[in-house]
Amino acid sequence: MIVITIAVALIVAGTFFFVTATLGLLRFPDFYTRMHAAGKGDTLGALLSLAGLALYNLNNGFSVEAILISMKILIIALFIFIANPTATHAITKAGLVCSVKPWEKKESSK
């Protein structure tokens, strides 16, 4: 019971970060700031969701199969951890190379 509660809490928290990432993608003004939302909110969101799933999977007892599956899920999380910043960096650099102008806060609005 406790395990399920923790797992659900993790998944809900992960979903929350996914929602903020999507909101940021819609609200932010330009290419670079949108990359922040799209590339990053996902890192923690996916990590929390996957951790929740791994925990939920162990709920029915610690059989060999269940542990193997949970470890696979954690390896997926590890992969996201390495691949996500790399892809984000690549896209941002592509923007820089194509000289996309970054949006800046207007001085008059301060």
Q: Which residues bind other proteins (CB under 8 A)?
A: 16-17, 20-21, 23-24, 27-28, 30, 32-33, 35-37, 39-41, 43-44, 65, 68-69, 71-72, 75, 81-82, 84-86, 88-89, 92-93, 95-96, 102-105
Contact call for residues 71 and 53 (beta carbons, < 8 A): no
Contact call for residues 24 and 37 (beta carbons, < 8 A): yes
Nearest approach, Cβ of residue 1 and other proteins (Å): 26
Q: Which is nearer to other proteins, 35 or 53 (CB)?
A: 35
Ordered alpha helix ranges (H), the chain: 2-27, 31-57, 64-97
Closest CA to 76 of 37, 46, 56, 52: 46
Nearest approach, Cβ of residue 109 and other proteins (Å): 10
Q: Which is nearer to other proteins, 56 or 70 (CB)?
A: 70
